[in-house]
Structure 1
């Protein structure tokens, strides 16, 4: 946990019908002073949408050699490298070399995020997915964010039904290839 970080707690009811994942999660998330609420909330959504055994948040912006979210198997080997925001091509290249699977979740315009990677060397770029939400979804959700949060996340046919502290929203989870 970074010095000066603000701790946010999320009590999450997760129902991912697409993957058959149903769980109750209690997440303590440290938001570094340089991290926006939109980035932090996207990090929490990425965690929920990727939830599986071995998933964890990294040390965040203070960790330069790990992604925002990662998944390790029972032996400790890195199996999924999950970036948030708009990582540079070098981070995706590193992640693709280190893990079997790489994904990016962004709260920004996905076309602009992907445009920066064009022509850059990214190992297995054709296997990396960029996920985004409908325009305005994350910004609307951030307005309901508190230090202690109650959240419901339901996913069916890549449609996300989301409730945060009484605010109900929904969005498509858009997927596009990096290459």
Structure 2
């Protein structure tokens, strides 16, 4: 855990009907002083939306060779590399060589996130998927964050319904397809 990190606790009821994943989670999420609430919330939602056996938060900014969230199999091999925000092409290239699947969750305009990757060398770029939310969704949800949070997250037909500390919001989960290879 980073020095000066603020710990946020999330008690989550997850119902992802699109994937058939239903679980109750308790997450302790460390927010580094340089991390925005929007980034931390996007990281937490990425964890929930990709929830599977072996999922964990990465070591964060103290460990540059790990993503924000990752899934490991029982042997320790990284199977899913989950970036958050606007990772550079070099990180995507590195991650896609290690993992079977790589995804990016962003709270920013996905076109602006993808644009700098154009013409850059990214291993298996056509398989990378970028997920985003409706404009303003993350900022509106982040305004409801507290140190201890109660969250109900329901996903059906790529529509996300979020109740965060009594504030109810919804957003489509937008997926951008393949990134053209260099």
Distance in 1 (CA, whole Å) between partners of 2:79 and 2:21 is: 18
Q: Tell me, what secondary structure is at the counterpart of 2:30?
A: strand
Shift of 1:74: 0.8
TM-score, with length taken from structure 1: 0.99
Superposed, which structure 2 residues align to 1:1-179 within 5 Å?
A: 1-177=1-177, 178-179=179-180
Shift of 1:63: 1.4
Q: Tell me, what secondary structure is at the counterpart of 2:19?
A: coil
Q: What does the per-residue CA deviation read over 1:32-63, in whole Å, with 9 as the maximum and x for residues that have no partner?
A: 00000000000000000000000000111221
TM-score, with length taken from structure 2: 0.97
Distance in 1 (CA, whole Å) between partners of 2:174 and 2:18 is: 14
Q: What does the per-residue CA deviation read over 1:69-125, in whole Å, with 9 as the maximum and x for residues that have no partner?
A: 000001111100000000000000000000000000000010000001111100000
Moved segments of 4+, more than 2 Å: none
Distance in 1 (CA, whole Å) between partners of 2:65 and 2:85 is: 16
Unaligned runs of 5+ in 1: none
Unaligned runs of 5+ in 2: none
Shift of 1:176: 0.5
Q: Tell me, what secondary structure is at the counterpart of 2:117?
A: coil
CA RMSD of superposed structures (Å): 0.5
Distance in 2 (CA, whole Å) between partners of 1:59 and 1:76 is: 15
Shift of 1:174: 0.2
